[in-house]
Amino acid sequence: MKKIAINMLPFKNRLPGTGNYIKRLLFFLQKLDTENNYFLYFGNCDDPKDLFGIYADNFSIIKCGKFESKLIRILNEQFIFPFRIGKLKPDILFCPSVAVPLLSFSGAKIITTIHDLIPFLFKKKYSFVQRSYINLISYLSAKKADKVLTVSENSKKDIIKFLNIKEEKIKVLYNFLPPEMPEKNNQPRENFFITVSTINPGKNLERLFEAFNIFHANNGDFKLYVIGGKGWNYESIFLKVKQLELDKAIIFLGYLKDDDLYKYYQMAKALVYVSIYEGFGIPPLEALHFNCPVVVSNTSSLPEVVGKAGFLVDPYNVNSIADGMYKCTDEAQISEKLKFIPDQLKKFNGETETKKLLTLIKS
């Protein structure tokens, strides 16, 4: 029997991508591992048991108090949290977010997770201070950890390139869908596209709108729904819609709960997801679950996620993106892509991926 401490301090009451990643892992860990004991350390999360679905007797929740700011949380993570886990003396410290406590008093083996290298590739996303910290902590955490998990082969290549980490130290543990995903239905698809993302420059929404403008000129009954909350530097994205005079055709729905989001996957003609860079990209995988055609960038991890089941386009070329939309109105081309969905989805199985982590824990 081993003791595994999990650093849940970065997570609050609303789950970002990394939050959903660990929530899904915890579901299968509780299902598959009744032998080891897990100790989850939380900060600004009011009801972690409910939010993360923690029910197993061998999973304990430890609350570390509220943090008034991100800076205070970071200081706590680096200078107080190490003493907490030092008292526990765990065999393993697992960090599902990148930051590893650089002080260590427990002698635990460390597993950290680096989902992507966006701060290294998109410098405008963060302030200089934020970017400097994230880059530094990513580098130091990767060096200190005994194993580094990441979510795609593309992210693995980036970690090797930017952080100079040896390949054998990195383990790919794919993202996967939650087990409670509803079944797909066979209702007719309607004349609209969706894109699902936080609204920020890295999601390439301005080029998407320009491409939709080309498509819309010959398909005036189509709409494009943008699903996701505001991120950073989003003003020019909203302005682009006005400049193209597409206010009635491009509609911002904001953040949607999962049940509402899934309805759009069931009805949309296609998901168009043309980010410049993704560490993984969950929305295309969600769309494939519902047999929703997908148009994705031919860059970063996205070809890895959709395989032969998706239409690949050049995210820097608006005509290429528009051509992807046209293909999604061709029943013959759609039918050809849909044939590949079952085999593609099998590559991202929650139980299989969680067993990879358990193999690390046991070894």
- Percentage of the chain modeled with pLDDT above 70: 99
- Averaged confidence pLDDT in the chain: 93
CA distance 197 to 182: 21
Write out pLDDT tens, residues 24-57. Answer: 999 999 999 999 999 999 999 999 999 999 999 9
In the predicted structure, residue 122 carries a pLDDT above the cut 80: no
Write out pLDDT tens, residues 270-304. Answer: 999 999 999 999 999 999 999 999 999 999 999 99
Q: What confidence tier does 244 reach under pLDDT thresholds 50, 70, 90?
A: very high
What pLDDT is stored for residue 98 in this prediction? 86
What pLDDT is stored for residue 33 in this prediction? 96
What pLDDT is stored for residue 344 in this prediction? 97
Question: Could you tell me where the beta strands, DSSP code E, fall in the chain?
Answer: 3-8, 37-42, 59-63, 92-95, 109-113, 147-150, 170-172, 192-196, 223-227, 250-254, 270-273, 294-297, 311-313
Name the CATH superfamily housing domain 192-346: Glycogen Phosphorylase B; (3.40.50.2000)
Q: Which residue has the higher pLDDT, 20 or 224?
A: 224
**Ranges in the chain annotated CATH 3.40.50.2000:** 3-176+350-362, 192-346
Which listed CATH number (3.40.50.300, 3.40.1360.10, 3.40.50.620, 3.40.50.2000) goes with 3-176+350-362? 3.40.50.2000
Strand partners of residue 271: 194, 294
Q: What is the mean pLDDT of residues 200-222?
A: 95
What pLDDT is stored for residue 24 in this prediction? 92
What pLDDT is stored for residue 57 in this prediction? 96
What pLDDT is stored for residue 145 in this prediction? 95
Q: What is the mean pLDDT of residues 134-139?
A: 90
What pLDDT is stored for residue 258 in this prediction? 87
In the predicted structure, residue 106 carries a pLDDT above the cut 80: no
Q: What confidence tier does 164 reach under pLDDT thresholds 50, 70, 90?
A: very high
